[in-house]
Amino acid sequence: MIGAGSHIELLKNNVHHIEQTFEGRDAPGQGGNGFGIAVYGTDAKTPITDLIIDGNEVHHLKTGSSESLVVNGNVTNFRITHNVVHDNNNIGIDVIGFERTAPDPAVDQARDGVVSGNLVYNITSRGNPAYRNDEFSDGIYVDGGTRILIEQNVIHDVDFGIELASEHKDRATSYVTARNNLVYHCHTAGVSIGGYAPERGRTDHCTVLNNTLYENDTSATGSGELQMQWNMADNIFANNIVYAGSRCLMTLNKSEVKSDQPPVNIDHNLYYCASGSKASTWKDSAATVTGFEKYVQSTGNDRHSRFLDPHFVDAVQDFHLRADSPAIAAGTTDGVPVGELDLEGSPRVQSGNIDIGCYQRK
């Protein structure tokens, strides 16, 4: 869909086996891009608004440089809900700004939307001619969008689980909340924020809250569970369960802190890996720190966080909390938008307490 319009619904479609056939190094404008579902707001005066994309299955696509399901440009008040996106060779769900889709930069930004209740899996750019062997595709990506809520999604076996970034210099992905999501077995990182290079855009006022990250970076890229890149400010990472794999790499921070204000406030999380606290690894631009206590002391992050087994019901396939979990009633509600419901719709705050991770124990 291209142009302007309102009260548009794309419901319960089965979109599959769309393939681009351009064999060279793919790039926009070279005829090598395909889409599953694409909504482009190209009118500078009138947006595409009150848009619902719900209950679709989008799968087995070869999209080249493009995305499986995308809203781009002058698109506002949208809901991307209950879709199943899988087995595609580029980004699953994307919310985009600043690509000159709309001719007025003031409105060239998808905004005020919800991405909720989706299942995204088996997404990788490896083998895609646009990316060769790089594993760069996201399950859910906000690239320049603003005022977006990403919640109650399950994402697994993709390259990056959730990425909040901006590819355009001096432009920001901003005011995004990613909460109550389950992200596991991603090839590169569970969550990534910040521009992917210093000369790219920035990520600010974004909150990653009450998610469960489990054994990501399965391709041993060195990105870990949480990857922090360049150009970040006023972001929050809190109330998350971070259960790393055999290398026990928790975070990778590529940015250089140039002020007293940290680019990401990190606290009230629960960390674990089978090899133990002293084996945990935390990388940044200056050094690599081994051991949870040394990391807290050297960075000032996670002063209220702990390194303990979260006691999942089944760490292989059921990430609900057992009754003896240290995640129970250990989260913070102070100044963070925890919301009313957990991943499966159970009440989130009970007796004034909130659990860490994507599930609230009933």
Residue 248 is classified by DSSP as: -
Q: How far apart are CA 186 and CA 225, in angstroms?
A: 9
Q: What is the pLDDT of residue 308?
A: 97
Q: What is the pLDDT of residue 317?
A: 87
**Domains of the chain, residue spans:** 2-321
3-state secondary structure of 207: strand
DSSP string over 295-319: HHHHH---TT-EE----EEETTTEE
3-state secondary structure of 136: coil
Q: What is the pLDDT of residue 129?
A: 84
Decide if 167 contacts 201 (C-beta within 8 A).
yes
Q: What is the pLDDT of residue 27?
A: 47
Q: What is the pLDDT of residue 261?
A: 65
pLDDT in tens, the chain (362 residues): 899 999 999 999 999 999 887 655 544 444 458 899 999 999 999 999 999 999 999 999 999 889 999 999 999 999 999 999 999 999 999 999 999 999 999 999 999 999 999 999 999 999 888 888 889 999 999 999 999 999 999 999 999 999 999 999 989 999 999 999 999 999 999 999 998 888 899 999 999 999 999 999 999 999 999 999 999 999 999 999 999 999 999 999 887 655 566 789 999 999 999 999 999 999 987 789 999 999 999 989 999 999 999 999 998 889 999 999 999 999 999 999 999 999 999 999 877 889 999 999 97
From the CB of residue 199, how many other CB atoms can be counted at a distance below 10 Å?
10
Q: In the chain, what is the straight-line distance between the N-terminal and C-terminal CA atoms, in Å?
A: 42
Report phi then psi at 2, rounded to 5: -135, 140
Class at the top of the CATH hierarchy for domain 2-321: mainly beta
Task: Please tell me the pTM assigned to this model.
Answer: 0.95
| Token couple for 338 | 């925890």
**How many angstroms from the chain centroid is the CA of residue 275?**
26
Q: What is the pLDDT of residue 255?
A: 75
